[in-house]
Structure 1
Amino acid sequence: MYLPRNSFARGAVALLALSLGACSSTPEKPETADNSSSSQQVVQKPVVQPKPKADQAQVVSYGGKGVGHYSAGALSGDFAGNSSLLGFIDNMVRTQGFDRNYLYGVFSQVRNRDDVARLWASTSSDPGSPKGWNAYRDRFVTAANVQRGVAFWQQNAPYLQRAQQQYGVPAEYIIGIMGVETRWGRILGKHRVIDALTTSAIVNQRRSKFFFDELKNYMLMTRSERMDPLSPKGSFAGAMGYGQFMPSSFHGYAVDFDGDGVRDLWNPHDAIGSVANYFAKHGWQQGGEVAVPAQVSSNTYANVPDGFKVKYSMSDLSRMGVAPKYGKGSSGPVHLLALSTVPNGYKEPWVGYKNFYVITRYNHSNYYAMTVHLLAQAVRERVGK
């Protein structure tokens, strides 16, 4: 979910408006060209102070001051005098126990990102993006990405195995999410998270409340995890780490999976546990199918409602001449997935199960969830487990 620099990525803004608030809001990653054959990247981690041997309630008792020697008597900088930000600061002091001068000091150093503002001001509807399912899939499910996914699995096998055992989520789907979101940490975002969230909260009037809520959750995260609030970097909308969690998702689902006392989404081990926990809490069915190709006896399926928002029973699909080609299926409703191909207009039929729907809780897109599924399966096949 990075700042778009081409017409394909600009079109992700429309999807962003619909799906922001889960983890990542869009699978597009055009900010950084991915031409290197290396499977690893040096990740710039946030500045984290050693966490005291205390629970979070005791951490809050530091007079409301977080990490960093920030202090000012008034709000200055790019947002000096901004009534919305001043109101936010006042609320954080009143309801969350922050020190006012500390917040003045922090937000006086926050920058108004003109590139983020221009993005939210855009009203274009994606006139130049590759059209259809095949083009979308082929951006992510590539031989190079499969190999990188295999390398990530090999490098982090003990944590992936433990996550699978603890949360019931197969390792390949954790890998699939991280591959689509950040290419396993290769492209984590170049915007300071606090700049992105503050700019978005002030310039995006339609979603101002959402972004101020995310900014609140971000400041609470940096305080509880002892992070310098001006240090972490992420996407243009404030998504963070290997799995591109928004700050609210951090508080709902992030876990300290390596036991060092800090929930750090820029740490691949904590990110593995956090993605697995996210899926588990959204109802992942252990051992259940995700999606399988469908065999069809008529073209009826192409003219009825489809997608993750529409629920059918297997008997409903049967009446439409649709049946899964293989697999044991899963309990509960199913989804008819008719993925449009271009230019021939054919709709590729699939049957999606509960776990497919769970993936869409991460990003509200049929294409996204199917791409995660196919990348996950390709990596598992290469690993041979």
Structure 2
Amino acid sequence: MKSGRALLKYSLAAMCASTLVGCGSAPVADKEPETVSVAAIPESAPLAEIPEAEPKPTVVARPSVATPSTTTVARNNTNRAAEALREQRRAELEAKRMEYHQRWETEQQRKLLAAQAEKQRQLREREQLAAQAELQRNLQQRQQLVIRPTRPRAQPRKVNYAPAPRAQIPMQVAYADPVGGQGNGNYSAASLTGSFAGQPAVLSLIDKLARKGFERDYLYGVFSQAQYRDDIAQIWAKYYAKGGEDAKPKGSGGGGYPSYRGKFLTPGNVAKGRNFWGRYAAHLMRAEQQYGVPAEYIVGIMGVETRWGEILGKHRVLEALLTSAVAVPHRANFFLGEAENFMLMTRSERMDPLIPKGSYAGAMGYGQFMPSSFKSYAVDFDGDGIRDLWNPVDAIGSIANYFARHGWRPGESVVVPASVSSNNYYSMPDGFKTKYSLGNLAQNGVVPAQPYRASGSAHLLALSHDGGKMPFIGFNNFYVITRYNHSNYYAMAVHELGNTIKQGVGTIYAQR
């Protein structure tokens, strides 16, 4: 009995041992690791956000020594697949970037070629206009000829000036290839560097321009290339050392107005002025008809300002304005405002802002307009779609428009000599800032010495010279000329130069 129980107990123990061995060695089914579908990832998703595929856990009934090794292999395979996917995505993005860059370069080249073609077209049109004007002058001269075969040929009329050569002179310009506007020249920078990097006022100007539609990187690129000019700063220092705006114009010889006048009314200048008038007679006549401003005053302004384009200035306009804003602190707001208007001009007229040149104060073109005057008074007088002050035709129309907008009265006199019969004249306030009625002047012994056509108030002018004061009476149109430059000497020089040039131009501009 005891032996039977022992045998049964031994058999049961053997069966349990066999079962345990079988469970420990049973194989675990390996599952394929899950992969991440490429189609499921959005194209714009950043590479860093692509999820890594995780294998589903394998459920086993009993722990096994083989399970950790299998799971690790599956995870490594999944990581390599995700990394390969990210590399593929990087390659696709880089290919797109290269495609966009190539398209951008192609578009820039296309714009450049189009601008060059447009410039050639404009040049051809200007040459055609010049040829038509020359043909018109020849026809007018032929119409004036009278042939009398039975009478001896009259001797040619003598003139008191040397006529200028009639050869066509190329138009002088202060810039070349003005293509593009905002973004022209591919200027770009991440921040402001260069001469004006430490100027808060310049950074403020950039902020203001950015609010008006300029790209900030473009502005940083342009202003970083602008240089502070020591030579301009020295000009301003000398100017204010001599009295600045309070200094009165003086001749180099100390002779008062006659010395000042002698700088402009020279035989050479008179000849140049008549040559300019002959070349642009049709445009001057059109400006006079449209704006009511006589041609002699348009020609006179150009002669005093730039010698009809010979002295347009050698300084980059943007550098002149920024340097002046720093060198003349009490006028910084004025020059920064002019710099703002200049940048707006280069955008609207499609100019490279680092190319136009002008005076040390930033004045531009044949008429030496400041950028704010360009904004208010410049016109496209030749119809090419661009207001270009370095183009003499646009300058003619712009000067005439400037005078008309400041109250020029067509047909009225500008200034006449005065006759003085009383010592009161020497103590009376004079200049364009002081107004008198003609009756009040007469009561003080000052009356016009020549016939005149004018209405309203008048100005007593006492232009100094070595022997005393030369008396004149200026009218409204004289005051209008002083709006161009606040100087009695300046306005009188424009008047005398223009009228002297007109005397020898031709019968179509007979003395008024």
Cα distance between partner residues in 1 of 2:504 and 2:209: 49
Higher mean C-alpha deviation, range 185-194 or range 319-328: 319-328
Q: CA deviation at 1:296?
A: 1.2
Q: Write the mapping of 1:357-372 to structure 2, written as runs, cut at 5 A.
A: 357-372=479-494
**1:107 and 2:236 matched:** no
Partner AA of 1:311 in structure 2: K
Partner AA of 2:175 in structure 1: P
Stretches of 4+ moved more than 3 A in 1? Answer: 37-42, 47-51, 126-130
The answer to whether the Cα contact below 8 Å between 2:251 and 2:259 also exists between their aligned partners in 1 is no
The answer to whether the Cα contact below 8 Å between 1:174 and 1:272 also exists between their aligned partners in 2 is yes
The answer to whether the Cα contact below 8 Å between 2:416 and 2:448 also exists between their aligned partners in 1 is yes
Q: CA deviation at 1:48?
A: 5.0
- Tell me the equivalent position of 2:21: none
Cα distance between partner residues in 2 of 1:323 and 1:71: 64
The answer to whether the Cα contact below 8 Å between 1:67 and 1:222 also exists between their aligned partners in 2 is no
CA 1:347–1:311 in structure 2 vs 1: closer, same or farther (change >3 Å)?
same
Cα distance between partner residues in 1 of 2:478 and 2:408: 9
Provide, for residues 13-36 of structure 1, a one-character-per-residue CA deviation record: whole Å limited to 9, x for no partner: xxxxxxxxxxxxxxxxxxxxxxxx
Cα distance between partner residues in 1 of 2:479 and 2:276: 25
- Tell me the equivalent position of 2:277: 153
Query: Which runs of 5 or more structure 2 residues have no equivalent in the other structure?
Result: 1-163, 244-249
From 62, 71, 85, the equivalent of 2:188 is: 71
**1:320 and 2:444 matched:** yes
Cα distance between partner residues in 2 of 1:383 and 1:38: 14
Higher relative contact order (CA 8 A, sep 6+): 1
- Tell me the equivalent position of 2:388: 264
The answer to whether the Cα contact below 8 Å between 1:329 and 1:353 also exists between their aligned partners in 2 is no
- Tell me the equivalent position of 2:241: 124
Secondary structure in 1 matching 2:470: strand
- Tell me the equivalent position of 2:497: 375
CA 1:267–1:42 in structure 2 vs 1: closer, same or farther (change >3 Å)?
closer
Cα distance between partner residues in 2 of 1:92 and 1:328: 50
Q: CA deviation at 1:295?
A: 1.1
Q: CA deviation at 1:119?
A: 2.1
Q: Write the mapping of 1:3-82 to structure 2, written as runs, cut at 5 A.
A: 42-47=171-176, 49=178, 65-82=182-199
CA 1:41–1:311 in structure 2 vs 1: closer, same or farther (change >3 Å)?
farther
Q: CA deviation at 1:112?
A: 0.5
Q: CA deviation at 1:82?
A: 2.1
Structure with greater helix share of residues: 2
The answer to whether the Cα contact below 8 Å between 2:432 and 2:482 also exists between their aligned partners in 1 is yes
Query: Which runs of 5 or more structure 1 residues have no equivalent in the other structure?
Result: 1-36, 52-58, 60-64
Cα distance between partner residues in 2 of 1:350 and 1:359: 15
CA 1:38–1:341 in structure 2 vs 1: closer, same or farther (change >3 Å)?
farther
The answer to whether the Cα contact below 8 Å between 1:77 and 1:109 also exists between their aligned partners in 2 is yes
- Tell me the equivalent position of 1:219: 343
Partner AA of 2:227 in structure 1: R
Partner AA of 1:165 in structure 2: Q
- Tell me the equivalent position of 1:284: 408
Partner AA of 2:391 in structure 1: N
- Tell me the equivalent position of 2:474: 352
**1:240 and 2:390 matched:** no
TM-score (normalised: structure 2): 0.63
Cα distance between partner residues in 2 of 1:213 and 1:38: 42
The answer to whether the Cα contact below 8 Å between 1:80 and 1:108 also exists between their aligned partners in 2 is yes
**1:137 and 2:261 matched:** yes
From 454, 458, 479, the equivalent of 1:330 is: 454
Cα distance between partner residues in 2 of 1:88 and 1:304: 46
The answer to whether the Cα contact below 8 Å between 1:338 and 1:348 also exists between their aligned partners in 2 is yes
Q: CA deviation at 1:50?
A: 5.8
Secondary structure in 2 matching 1:348: strand
**1:210 and 2:334 matched:** yes
CA 1:139–1:215 in structure 2 vs 1: closer, same or farther (change >3 Å)?
same
- Tell me the equivalent position of 2:209: 92
Q: Which entry has the higher C-alpha Rg, 1 or 2? A: 2
Q: CA deviation at 1:38?
A: 7.7
